[in-house]
Structures are given as C-alpha cells and as structure tokens.
C-alpha cells in the first residue's frame, strides 16, 4: 500500500521538525491542514542537510553531503526514494514545481560551510540567499498553491523573512558558530572586539528585513497567514531579547524565548489571525 509508505515518509519529516524545532513545529500546526505535510517535507530535508555540515564532524562530511545530494536528485527524478526524508521532499518538489535552482542554491550554501570561507559582503549575501531565502521561496511555492502570479508578487517578502530568521540565528548562535565551528558569517566583524555599534548595525539590517516581510505576510492566503505570522512573532520576540543584550554578553550566552512566552505568543497570534487583526 503505497499510501502508507507516503504517510510514513511525511511522519518522519514531522518528527524531525518537532525534535529539532518546537517553534517551527507549532508554526506548521497553525497552517491549514493541507499545507502541513509539504512544509514538513521541506523542513526535514533542509534540517538533515544542515546537520551534515554542522554536527557530523567525526565523519567525512563532504562525502556524506555529496552522497545525500546525489540521492536527492535521484529521488526527484525517479519520484521515489527509500530514504523517507528524501521521499517526502521529492514529493513536494514535484507536486509544487519547486525549481532546481532553489535546491542548487541551498546545497551551494551548505558546501560553503564545509569550506569555512571568510565571509565578505558578496559571500555573505550568497550564503543568506542559499541557506535561507530559497527556503522561504520553497515554502512560498506551497503557500501559493501553483498561483504563479501570487508567487511572483510575494517573492521579495518571503526572501526577506528567510533572511531575517537566518541573521537572527547568526546573532543567537555566535558563540557556537565561532568557537565550535570557526565560522564568522557577518562581514567585517571581529568577535574578539564585538562592539555595540556593530551589533546595532546588524540589528538595523534585520529590522529592515522584518519590516518588508510583515507586508508580505498580510498578502498571504489565509490558509498560510496564521502559521507564518506565528513564526514571525516568535523570531520578533527573540530579536527583541537580543537587542536588549550587550554585545559582550551575546558572545557568551545563547539567548532564547522561554516556553511560557512561546505559549502566550501562540495564543495571541491565534486570536489575531482568527479575527483578522494581523
């Protein structure tokens, strides 16, 4: 029974989502039911790919990534994979006509992490595009449900939201990225002398991304607006906490939003969406 196999593949991606990110898991649950599995399918793929370059240090990461990428494209071409994560992802790619260019860009950014390059403005922009903006575009393909005109209209907003999320992750994870992985994503930043002025400059850039992204959320179909707004609200709350923290402290502490605050955010965003107050 092929349907059971398909269900098991998407359930695997759902488990991965909830295990790695309860916040994104809750955001997906706030989407219309028909959109949840496709977004789980995308998240499972990007999460596992990211894990290869971020945590598999005891193994040949480049070989593992190359093999995973090869299997990904085989799955897309064959429209099946015995790897449940790749099967769920290929199903979404083929159903929603997700372009290979988006997948290629994502893989390229993951390979940049293996090369441990020094991020100037060009490479920083390339990395943000491939690691975050294209993921927003993949999700937008699902949210707009093959409405090409709406997809084209909302592309800039989806890219800005993905960029905002990624840049906040960079600020939140400065310590582990720098000390554990030797990465400094922000161009021109010296973490041995990370100043409040540089922190404010980065935060201003993130705020611009948030401002543009919010305009796009208002234009999303109701089926996806609530879930995207919940993710937006969570990251905005995290951003607010980060802005209040001194530059020196952020190098030594991973800032997070407590679960109790997340529950309040979920409740508020649910009712704001329900009564069209977003």
CA-based nearest residue to 43, from 101, 85, 78, 82 = 85
What value does the CA radius of gyration of the chain take, rounded to a whole number of Å?
Answer: 18
What is the Cβ-side half-sphere exposure of residue 212, based on CA atoms within 13 angstroms?
18
Cβ atoms within 10 Å, residue 48: 17
Q: What is the dihedral of CA 134, 278, 32, 45, to 10 degrees?
A: 20
Position 188 scores a pLDDT of: 82
For residue 251, what pLDDT band results from cuts at 50, 70 and 90?
A: confident
pLDDT tens per residue, range 54-88: 999 999 999 999 999 999 999 999 999 999 999 99
Where in the sequence is the domain holding 70, given as residue range(s)?
2-274
Percentage of residues in the chain with pLDDT exceeding 70? 99
Is pLDDT at 221 greater than 80 in this prediction? yes
For residue 269, what pLDDT band results from cuts at 50, 70 and 90?
A: confident
Position 191 scores a pLDDT of: 73
For residue 253, what pLDDT band results from cuts at 50, 70 and 90?
A: confident
The two structure tokens encoding residue 40? 């789980």
Higher pLDDT, 278 or 53: 53
The two structure tokens encoding residue 176? 């582990």
Position 162 scores a pLDDT of: 98
Range among 11-25, 88-102, 165-179 rated most confident: 88-102
pLDDT tens per residue, range 124-149: 999 999 999 999 999 999 999 999 99
CA-based nearest residue to 53, from 111, 131, 106 = 111
Is pLDDT at 118 greater than 80 in this prediction? no
pLDDT tens per residue, range 142-185: 999 999 999 999 999 999 999 999 999 999 988 777 767 778 89
Is pLDDT at 119 greater than 80 in this prediction? yes
Q: What is the CATH number of the domain that holds 132?
A: 1.10.600.10
Is pLDDT at 275 greater than 90 in this prediction? no
pLDDT, averaged across the chain: 93
Q: Give a three-class secondary structure readout of 161-220.
A: HHHHHHHHHHHHCHHHHHHHHCCCCCCCCCHHHCCHHHHHHHHHHHHHHHHHHHHHHCCC
Higher pLDDT, 95 or 196: 95
The two structure tokens encoding residue 52? 């290869």
CA distance 257 to 26: 14
**Which residues make Cβ contacts (< 8 Å) with residue 268, sequence separation at least 6?**
233
Position 175 scores a pLDDT of: 76
Percentage of residues in the chain with pLDDT exceeding 90? 75
How many folded domains does the chain comprise? 1
The two structure tokens encoding residue 133? 């903006």
CA distance 178 to 181: 6
Is pLDDT at 91 greater than 80 in this prediction? yes
């Amino acid at each position: 029974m092929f349907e059971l196999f398909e269900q098991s593949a998407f359930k695997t991606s759902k488990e991965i989502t909830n295990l790695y990110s309860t916040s994104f898991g809750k955001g997906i649950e706030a989407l219309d039911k028909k959109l949840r599995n496709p977004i789980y399918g995308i998240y499972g793929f990007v999460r596992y790919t990211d894990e290869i370059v971020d945590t598999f240090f005891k193994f040949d990461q480049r070989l593992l990534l190359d093999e995973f990428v090869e299997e990904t494209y085989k799955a897309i071409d064959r429209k099946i994979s015995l790897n449940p994560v790749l099967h769920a992802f290929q199903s979404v790619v083929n159903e929603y006509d997700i372009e290979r260019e988006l997948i290629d860009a994502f893989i390229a950014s993951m390979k940049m992490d293996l090369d441990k390059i020094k991020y100037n403005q060009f490479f920083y922009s390339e990395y943000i595009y491939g690691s975050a903006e294209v993921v927003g575009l993949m999700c937008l393909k699902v949210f707009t449900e093959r409405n090409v005109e709406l997809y084209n209209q909302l592309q800039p907003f989806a890219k800005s939201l993905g960029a905002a999320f990624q840049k906040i992750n960079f600020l939140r994870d400065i310590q582990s990225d720098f000390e554990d992985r030797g990465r400094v994503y922000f161009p021109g930043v010296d973490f041995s002398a990370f100043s409040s002025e540089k922190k404010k400059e980065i935060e201003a850039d993130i705020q611009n991304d948030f401002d543009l992204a919010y305009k796009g959320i208002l234009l999303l179909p109701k089926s996806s607006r609530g879930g995207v707004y919940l993710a937006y609200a969570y990251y905005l709350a995290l951003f607010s906490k980060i802005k209040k923290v001194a530059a020196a402290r952020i190098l030594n502490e991973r800032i997070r939003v407590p679960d109790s605050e997340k529950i309040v955010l979920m409740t508020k965003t649910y009712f704001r969406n329900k009564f069209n107050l977003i």
